Amino acid sequence: MKTAYVCYNIQEKYTSNTVKDEDVILLEFLKKKGLDIHREVWTNENVNWTDYDLVLIKAPWDYHENITAFYNWLDKLSSLNIRMLNHYEIIKWNSNKHYLKDIEDAGLSIIPTLFAEKNTTLKFPSFCKQLKSEKLIIKPCISAGAKNTFILTPDNYTVHQNKIDNLLKSEAFLVQPFIKEVESDGEWSFIFFDGNFSHSVIKKPISGDFRVQHTYGGTIHIKAASDLYRVSSITNKSRYSLP
């Protein structure tokens, strides 16, 4: 079986000296296991995707910068009946953080979330009242790497108001109460294979920051989760197979 290992044109803004290049490590590991697997860039128009039996979506980290092209690419692969891991409809769904509403509607717990839809304006006092918090985080519904992510408080929201209102002219944002534990303890990630829990890692920001991305100095640590975390994560994964 010939597999495409899908990545992106490497850009310095997505690299860091704080973590190893996991994309290269994993690709070499899979090759040593005997897989016929090849790195391909999703935006490379010269790739003949029909040469592949399977497409593994590993790291197209610039998808959010050209989401229409990314969706068109997914549609193209679907029309060619090329098997994907995960299914292209799941990848599309998971690319837009409106999926949180679907998860909540399914009866699962999420961080309280509101949406500032496209062509609206930032209504900070109203969001504070609805979310019962005076410290909010706002970020695009289609984004990665903490792009255009703001912490808003009564003291600073007017400074960001115009910029956010301009961004809202072209895209929707989600609004949530700021979760202080991310800043102090880090952010958990739970990894599942075929619906089964495999392992967990915790991403930690540098001191004085809340962003766990390695491009902002964040670090990643392998750490076993408590039974409470594991049960909660498995429950939340039972309804959806997220990429």
Domain closes at, from 133, 156, 178: 178
Please count the helices (runs of H) and the strands (runs of E) in the chain: 8, 11
| Residue tagged 């979760």 (tokens) | 179
Residue type, 93: W
Same domain, 14 and 71: yes
In total, how many domains does the chain have? 3
Q: Which residues contact 24 (CB under 8 A, 6 or more apart)?
A: none
Same domain, 48 and 127: no
The token pair at 222 is 């392998």
Within a domain: residue 166?
yes
Same domain, 156 and 203: no
Same domain, 159 and 216: no
Same domain, 67 and 23: yes
Domain extent, residue 50, equals: 2-94
Within a domain: residue 242?
no
Within a domain: residue 221?
yes
Domain closes at, from 72, 94, 116: 94
Instruction: Read off the CATH number of the domain in which 137 is found.
Output: 3.30.1490.20
Burial class (CB in 10 A: 0-12, 13-18, 19+), 32: exposed
Q: What is the pLDDT along the chain (243 residues), one digit of tens a residue?
A: 999 999 988 655 555 565 567 788 899 999 999 999 999 999 999 999 999 999 999 989 889 999 999 999 999 999 999 999 888 899 999 999 999 999 999 999 999 999 999 999 999 999 999 999 999 999 999 988 778 999 999 999 999 999 999 999 999 999 999 988 888 888 888 888 888 888 888 888 888 777 777 777 778 888 887 754 544 444 444 333 333
Query: What secondary structure letter does DSSP report for 225?
Result: P
| Residue tagged 């408080």 (tokens) | 153
| Direct distance between the N- and C-terminal alpha carbons of the chain, in angstroms, rounded to an integer | 21
Residue type, 37: I
**pLDDT digit string, tens, across residues 152-208:** 999 999 999 999 999 999 999 999 999 888 888 888 888 888 888 888 888 888 887
**132-150 burial: b if 16+ Cβ within 10 Å, else e:** ebbebbbbbbbbbbbeeeb
Q: Which residues on neighbouring strands pair with residue 133, listed in sequence order?
A: none
Within a domain: residue 243?
no
| C-beta of residue 197 within 8 angstroms of C-beta of residue 190 | yes
Within a domain: residue 223?
yes
| C-beta of residue 96 within 8 angstroms of C-beta of residue 64 | no
Same domain, 71 and 117: no
Same domain, 55 and 10: yes
Same domain, 11 and 71: yes
pTM of the model: 0.82
φ/ψ bin of 145: left (φ > 0), alpha (ψ from -120 to 50), beta (otherwise):
left
Order across the sheet with 187-193: list the strands: 187-193, 196-204, 219-222
Domain closes at, from 178, 195, 226: 178
Same domain, 145 and 222: no
